[in-house]
Amino acid sequence: MIKSLVPPCEGLKVPNAKISGSNQLKSKGLRMELTITQPDDWHLHLRDGDLLKAVVPHSASHFGRAIVMPNLKPPITTTAAAVVYRDAILKALPSDSNFTPLMTLYLTDTTSPDEIKLAKRSGVVFAVKLYPAGATTNSQDGVTDLFGKCLPVLEEMAEQNMPLLVHGEVTDPNVDIFDREKVFIDTVLQPLIQRLPQLKVVMEHITTMDAVKFVESCKEGSVAATVTPQHLLLNRNAIFQGGLQPHNYCLPVLKRETHRQAIVSAVTSGSKRFFLGTDSAPHEKSKKESACGCAGIYNAPVALSLYAKVFEEMGALDKLEAFTSINGPGFYGLPRNTSKIKLSKTSWKVPEAFSFSFGDIIPMFAGNTLEWQPSLI
């Protein structure tokens, strides 16, 4: 079993009559089932080529839609490229899948306002992703001067109601890696919101108490945040306990326990400002376990089980559906999914690895036993 970093509940708190919508918790003898609206993943990496074909079924089996990140090689910087990438994803899906990829553009110093207009008209592109140059995997083509080179694009995005998705870290080597998110908030996000208050912003994969406070201080509906399973369940000790653990290394890097607790409290509070974004990022085992290992945690096969674990331990299962299935569509102005998913309280073991012709991919919590198992109804 996974040793939780969250204080366990004395017992499962069954939702009471205040539950709304389709959220239902049923007990069948000793077995419990939770039925919710099918979730979406508002931050997902699917890669391309053989890796895309290998991993997309794991996301499609649980999620109705996903915001697909554009940091490929080369990156998805135009609407035309986004359409081509979307077609590749659709072709890689199982034949019976209804999964819908929601595409994004990779913001660069040379992105034009006209490209934003084209993206909006396409009906295919739903957001633009800001990677500070050098911040994470395949971010070398990212932005070097947001206000100096991208302001006309940001203004057009505000005009078109196109959200900006932010990898919220500075890349100054003089800033400690554990402080990069806080410094980004102070030096980039706060000035951005003040300058363009009408721009919708998602602070992706938040990791700190500072980010929670920032999001909560902004106008609801204008600034939101996605939260990953790893940042809810793990603190930075998980990277080093029992030796260096490359499969727990991601960017933004895991933080102190106090920050993890603040994020858990935020997402289980019922706030509409926070919603599911796995940041599931597959890499072959050989690239993770190397002299210069890749950042990224592959959690797509286990994400819903882990989110349910967190909400159960906080006595907040009645708020799980809002976080997974309602808050995200509300922020993006999209309809909720009409299909349902069932989470059964039944033990299952995470595979040690997923093996493919090009190599193994190690999932989050490989080899551990989880207690909630999702299935489409």
Residues labelled as active-site residues = 43, 45, 129, 167, 205, 279
CA 329/CA 336 separation, integer angstroms: 6
Beta strands (DSSP E) in the chain are 24-28, 31-37, 41-44, 65-68, 100-106, 125-130, 164-166, 201-203, 223-227, 274-276, 340-344, 348-349, 354-356, 359-361, 369-370, 373-376
Q: Of 99, 107, 119, which is closest to residue 58 (Cα–Cα)?
A: 99
Q: How far is residue 44's CA from residue 52's CA, in Å, rounded to a whole number? A: 12
Phi and psi at residue 334, in whole multiples of 5°? -115, 155
Residues across the chain: 377
What gap in Å lies between CA 322 and CA 37, rounded to an integer? 9
Report the 10 Å Cβ neighbour count for 8. Answer: 9
Q: In a 3-state reduction of DSSP, which class is residue 100? A: strand
Distinct helix (H) and strand (E) counts, the chain: 14, 16
Three-class DSSP category at 36? strand
Q: Is the distance from CB of 159 to CB of 230 less than 8 angstroms? A: no
